[in-house]
Structure 1
């Protein structure tokens, strides 16, 4: 069975989708990422879709589900490298991602994840002091 590699970079997981996504591969990625978030204690997930020329409504929904699942598991998700045609298609299809942020490239995406972790750490410290 095909799988998309998931790399660990500190507290983050990096997924670079370099093949055409089909439905089963997307569902396998969703399961694999949820497992790795738990097993590795990941706080962030960065998904690079710069190699994708096309994202249909099913793949768009699965990516949104990945972000929602990660959020429930206390990890943030950033998607990077979206081509303009993919963005336009997702908007036209009405795909919305409530639990996922986007950035133009991996560097900016990692900066968003770092900022989210710093904000979470500050909030935790403030809560601890108040208690």
Structure 2
């Protein structure tokens, strides 16, 4: 069985990955690999991971989200996670996962605006 690939869209220097299906371990690892390769290939300065359609995460998926954020940050990409549902936020906290350096926004539109503001601040030297 071939694992389902999560589409990764590029808008300017931002990548957007919206998870619309249940992630199983194999598809989650494939997603991480695809995302990091796309960051490298495109030199993306921002990444939005939209979790609006995700209503449950287990410890493996929670850790993977944390790892993606850390790895993208090491590659110089600012990370915004959008659309966290209450149950997912609770699970991430209960698992003790700290999303250091990760910004969060209520939705994709607010996440894009946040990255734009951050880019402007960086360009002005105030960020």
Superposed pair shares fold, TM > 0.5: yes
The answer to whether the 8 A contact 1:64-1:100 is kept is: no
Gaps of 5+ in 1: 127-131
The secondary structure found in structure 1 opposite 2:10 is strand
Q: Tell me how far apart the structure 1 counterparts of residues 124 and 59 of structure 2 sit (CA, whole Å).
A: 37
Query: CA shift at 1:65, angstroms?
Result: 1.1
Deviations 1:14-55 (A, max 9, x none): 101000011121111111111111111211000111111101
Structure 1 match to 2:123: 121
Query: CA shift at 1:102, angstroms?
Result: 0.8
Write the mapping of 1:1-131 to structure 2, written as runs, cut at 5 A: 1=2, 2-123=4-125
Q: CA RMSD in A?
A: 1.4
The structure whose residues are more often helix, as a share, is 1
Query: CA shift at 1:109, angstroms?
Result: 0.6
- TM-score when scaled to structure 2? 0.91
- TM-score when scaled to structure 1? 0.88
Task: Count how many residue pairs are aligned between Structure 1 and Structure 2.
Answer: 124
